[in-house]
Amino acid sequence: MVDSSSKQTKVTSSHWGAFEVDVEGDRIVATRPFSHDPHPTPIPGILPAAVHHRTRVAHPSIRRGWLEKRKRDGRGSDEFVALPWDEALDIAATEIDRVRREYGNKAIFGGSYGWSSAGRFHHAQSQAHRFLNSIGGYVASFGSYSTGCAQSIMPHVFGANFLQLLYEHQDGWQTIHDHTQTLVMFGGINPKNSQVSMGGVTEHETAGWFHRFAAKDMRCINIGPQRIDAPEGCEWIPVRPASDTALMLALAHVLESEGLTNRDFLARCTVGFERFRPYLMGETDGQPKSPEWAAPLCGVDPDTTRNLARRMASTRTLVTVAWSLQRGEHGEQPYWMSAVLSAMLGQIGLPGGGVGYGYGAIGGVGKSLIGLGGMTFSQLTNPVETVIPVARIGDMLRNPGQPYDFNGRREPYPDIRLIYWAGGNPYHHHQDLNALHEAWQKPETVIVNEPWWTATAKRADIVFPATTPYEREDIGRSNLDDYLFHMPRLIPPVGEARDDYAIFAGLAERLGVGAVFTEGRSAADWLSLLYEEYRSLAVPKGVEVPDLEELRARNWIRLPIRAEGPNRTLFAPFRENPEASPLGTPSGKIEIFSETIDAFGYDDCPGHPVWLPPSEWLGAATVAAPLHLVSPQPGDKLHSQFESALADREGARPETLVMHPGDATVRGIRTGDLVRVFNTRGACRARASVSEDIHPGVVALPTGAWFGDPGGNIDPDGNPNVLTKDVGTSRLGQGCSAHTALVDVARLEA
């Protein structure tokens, strides 16, 4: 226990960076920015209120309808009964055992996400999956809501794991500064989004680098529906959402029609251009993909497109693509087409040139570091082979046994009887939440480990109160950051909260696999073991890491692992010698046309990139739904974390909806007005902010507000996912489609 009369200040780490924490007795009372962060985020300011908020889960709790009658309906509206830990663990273990005996482990879905803690041992995804594997396995998921579509398509194009390309091989900011003359940002590069990074981002550098880019007269061009998607001072080419592929095709058409295509690079380093060119030039369908063709689709003047293409061909150009572009129907196409456009420019593999993905999406992209392995809690081996795309959870629950296509395979959805979720909130990530709420009633049991009464916890049958990162000891590190942190236990667990390891160890013991899960080690034992493994793996790379006791005493250190230079440039060895350094594609080269994808026979993702309009965008707007909704990440938190405390702030909720003056005027809406945002899927409240910095016909509503009560006429706080469409990006990627939604907006009188 912490001495109630003591006062201490420590530095701890989080996904949004390091910060100082003041503790008095058993309470966190204040936070301050970390002194080494040049642009600290304000996110930690709400932490003291959130950690001690009234919405913390105080006791093990079981939904009354499930406890008394095993009723499935009532999730989201039923009351909960607090029980002692031993009784709640007994009930949960008995139910898990029943499901696996009656239906097999293929009836258990292990939902988890990696954003609950920056600590390496208390990583909820590793903890949950290790437990489920120790009892015989579970149905797993592929990819993430952020990049699931890209994770499917890009290996076909570049022959490599998309996340490895993203984090380990792209140019760093210094290389971009030194070599890039034209930075073309499809979807922008937003410092707001780069506040966070998996495992932590200690020095927030994105905004600072753009000041340096401006000082050297680099042209930075933001192509997207909002001016604020790139730092101040960047040029803005407004485009309609979901039209980026059309603009990329038009740029490619200019290159080809004006003799600016780098044919030597295409011949040496790519395959399939001869299959793609007839489509580009209109020989196969009678429609050249010219700037004039693209103008009414994307809203960009043809002369602007031509001038940009010529500039890109005559200067060292880096094309960057935001994660948001692949989060919509046909999200595979802009990612594939960006690779083709960059290949036609012939600059892939040159420092500061070519193509890059995810800059600004998280803070770690753009930091060139020597990767140090280790400090990963083993998830063991999953005997269940069934895996679904992560964004198809709703379809899985609605359609057990129904076949679906995914990346060349066709399989039936599993029949899920039990969901175990830890470390995430699907009622933040998922689309069409009203439909998800209905599907969520179908499993026989839902178990959740959760610190707060989130929408997911309210829709569970058994809820175990979990600690926050400030109530347990851990180590903070990331391959995207050059700082290493000891994360001390700052306060005792709030209420009866236990860490995930203790919860799963208790369940594993009751299910007869305690030794398999824990291997006889305490949490402290595991922390020491994982840390020593990390230290040993650093030695061959010439990096000295202090022992754990020294790190505890020092609290944090900065590691000498910066690694700028030409060896970090994406595909540099391949460019130099494609035969000696082939890619992992079937051809060994960049695949402009993919025989593999073509053989799948998907009309929504053919053998080369094409323009495929989504079912909902401004080109298909109706009188009932004339506006295109985009749902960016919030600026005041990570996803939906700390939302309960943020919502207490005066005027903070409902969330703010940005709309163009022309769209606001015809609806009689002014800045500050309460509005109703709606379509056939649902409705939510929001507070209007009228701005010239958004494309006409587009409205922007950030994610993160907690999903309200089901069955009401309107979501009270402004969750955009009551409006978004729950369809896969295509049969190939099956990613989330958060940016495919048409809505209307009306002023609320009260």
Q: Give, in degrees to the nearest 5, the angle at Cα 496 between 494 and 497.
A: 65
Q: How far is the C-alpha of 336 from the C-alpha of 357, rounded, in Å?
A: 11
Cα atoms in the 13 Å half-sphere on the side-chain side of 28: 30
Q: How far is the C-alpha of 224 from the C-alpha of 330, rounded, in Å?
A: 17
Task: Enter the DSSP assignment of 166.
Answer: I
Cα radius of gyration rounded to whole Å, the chain? 26
Q: Which two tokens stand for residue 453?
A: 């009464």
- Spatial contact of 18 and 202, defined as CB atoms under 8 Å apart: yes
Q: How far is the C-alpha of 270 from the C-alpha of 394, rounded, in Å?
A: 38
Q: Which two tokens stand for residue 623?
A: 């009188």
- Spatial contact of 57 and 471, defined as CB atoms under 8 Å apart: no
Catalytic residue set: 113, 115
Phi, psi of 674 (to 5 degrees): -80, 135
Residue 7: other Cβ atoms inside 10 A: 10
Q: How far is the C-alpha of 333 from the C-alpha of 606, rounded, in Å?
A: 10
- Spatial contact of 520 and 239, defined as CB atoms under 8 Å apart: no
Query: What's CA 476's distance to the chain center, in Å?
Result: 20
Alpha helix locations (H) across 159-200? 162-164, 173-179
Three-state secondary structure readout of 245-290: HHHHHHHHHHHHHCCCCCHHHHHHHEECHHHHHHHHCCCCCCCCCC
- Which residue type, as a one-letter code, is found at position 679? N
- Spatial contact of 589 and 578, defined as CB atoms under 8 Å apart: yes
Q: How far lies 152's CA from each of 28, 138, 407, 676, 739, in Å? A: 42, 22, 7, 36, 18
Q: How far is the C-alpha of 687 from the C-alpha of 672, rounded, in Å?
A: 6
- Which residue type, as a one-letter code, is found at position 64? R
From the list 222, 204, 483, the residue with the least C-alpha distance to 362 is 204
- Spatial contact of 83 and 59, defined as CB atoms under 8 Å apart: yes
Q: How far is the C-alpha of 145 from the C-alpha of 314, rounded, in Å?
A: 37
From the list 84, 112, 60, the residue with the least C-alpha distance to 463 is 60
- Which residue type, as a one-letter code, is found at position 697? G
Which helix (H) or strand (E) segment is 510 a member of?
A: helix 500-510
Q: Which residues contact 622 (CB under 8 A, 6 or more apart)?
A: 742
Helix then strand then coil, in percent of the chain rounded to 5, is 35, 20, 45
Q: Which two tokens stand for residue 613?
A: 């309009």
Coil vs helix vs strand at 108: strand
Q: Which residues contact 259 (CB under 8 A, 6 or more apart)?
A: none
From the list 413, 405, 396, the residue with the least C-alpha distance to 731 is 405
DSSP line for 628-644: EEE-PPPSSSSTTTTHH
Q: Which two tokens stand for residue 731?
A: 């049969």
DSSP line for 201-233: -SS--HHHHHHHHHHTT-EEEEEESBGGGS-TT
Q: Which residues contact 164 (CB under 8 A, 6 or more apart)?
A: none
DSSP line for 61-85: EEEHHHHHH---TTTTTS-EEE--H
